[in-house]
Each structure stands twice: as C-alpha cells, then as structure tokens.
C-alpha cells in the first residue's frame, strides 16, 4: 500500500472534507488510554487544518464522549480502560490541535447498549456529507487500528472516496496497524503522506 507524498495546500479541493478522528487528551501520552506517539499526529494535522481553512474545505472532528460506566470499559466487561468521560479533561480535544471555529464536531460512543468506533456509526454523518456535496474524505487521527479503521471502512461502504493521511495516524499496536492498512486498502481507501 503505497502512500503518495502530498502537499495539503495543493491537495484539498471543492467536494473534499477533512475528518479528524478522536484526537483527544485521553488518547495521547499521559491520558487514560494513551496511544504511543499519539501526540505526534497534531503537527501533521495542523498542516492539513491550515490548508482546509485556506481552501474553505469543511473540517469534521469526531470524539469519544462516553458516559460513566460505558460498556466498552473493563469495569463494565469491555476491552478498554475508562476513557473520554463526558465533560472530563481527558475527553477534550488536544489544546495544540488548531481546530477552526467552523469545525463540526461528531460525537460518538454515547450509547448505553453498544460502542461506536466509527464517526459514521449512527451519527448521520454520511447523509450530512452528501447534502453538503462532499464526495472525497481525507482522514487522520487516533487510533489507526480502531476508530480510524472503523471510520474509513464505513466511509467506503457509504460510497465516499477516502484518502488516509498515514503520517497523521498512530495505532494501538504495530501489528494492528498493518492489518488495518490492509483492510482499508482492500476496501478501496488510498494513502497519503504529508509534504
């Protein structure tokens, strides 16, 4: 899966959207569920955010927003330690992530009966993007082998052209990232790295 070196200021165009997946304090070093080097996606994403603002390309930022005792937490029989509790500091977007005021926030993981890894899972995002005339998505964020993967697969299933900004993602495990890349590629996603 070859990644094409891409200048964000030349890449973004009308009909595009930038989707940033879960770049929240709890997924970065020092957080409740830290992704190794998760904070290193921020400078890369800031380049894409600046380019999106300049090109008037809409920005969407998904966030986990879990209620206390969410079923995905180990204490409730789930896989993960408690993280991204609603209104907690850990659930906030990274302060050094330069989200423009126009950013549309996509809240997920709020259901009591299931987890929602994808920004498209019962959020209405696909329909909204279609109404806005969006057909191509540039996606980066955390974690590559969990929520980025789920978002990319759902975006492809919904018929969007998807480009994963590979240097703007980090994952839970190296093996998981390799498997995620394969699944995203098989689903028709393409890959870019940032110039």
N-terminal to C-terminal alpha carbon distance within the chain = 18
For residue 120, the SS3 value is coil
In which residue are the tokens 């930022």 written?
61
22 in active site: yes
User: From the candidates 28, 84, 147, 177, which is the catalytic residue?
Assistant: 147
Rounded to 5°, angle at Cα 23 from 22 and 24: 90
108 in active site: yes
User: From the candidates 16, 22, 64, 154, which is the catalytic residue?
Assistant: 22
For residue 93, the SS3 value is strand
Dihedral class, residue 145 (left if φ above 0, else alpha if ψ from -120 to 50, else beta): alpha
User: From the candidates 84, 108, 121, 154, which is the catalytic residue?
Assistant: 108
Residues 6+ apart with CB under 8 A from 127: none
What separation in angstroms does the CA of 119 have from each of 60, 76, 113, 140, 141? 9, 23, 17, 12, 11
Question: Torsion angle, CA of 119/124/125/128, rounded to 10 degrees?
Answer: -170
Active site residues: 22, 108, 147
């Amino acid at each position: 899966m070859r990644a094409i070196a891409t200048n964000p200021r030349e890449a973004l165009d009308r009909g595009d959207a930038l989707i940033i997946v879960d770049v929240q304090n709890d997924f970065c070093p020092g957080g409740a569920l830290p992704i190794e080097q998760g904070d290193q996606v921020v400078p890369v994403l800031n380049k894409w955010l600046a380019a999106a603002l300049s090109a008037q390309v809409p920005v969407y930022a998904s966030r986990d927003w879990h209620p206390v005792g969410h079923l995905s937490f180990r204490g409730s029989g789930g896989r993960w330690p408690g993280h991204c509790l609603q209104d907690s500091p850990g659930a906030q977007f990274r302060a050094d992530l330069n989200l423009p005021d126009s950013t549309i926030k996509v809240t997920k993981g709020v259901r009591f009966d299931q987890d929602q890894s994808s920004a498209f899972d019962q959020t209405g995002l696909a329909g909204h993007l279609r109404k806005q005339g969006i057909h191509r998505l540039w996606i980066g964020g955390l974690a590559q082998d969990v929520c980025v993967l789920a978002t990319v697969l759902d975006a492809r299933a919904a018929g969007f052209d998807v480009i994963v900004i590979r240097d703007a993602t980090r994952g839970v495990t190296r093996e998981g990232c390799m498997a995620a890349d394969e699944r995203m590629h098989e689903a028709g996603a393409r890959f870019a790295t940032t110039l």
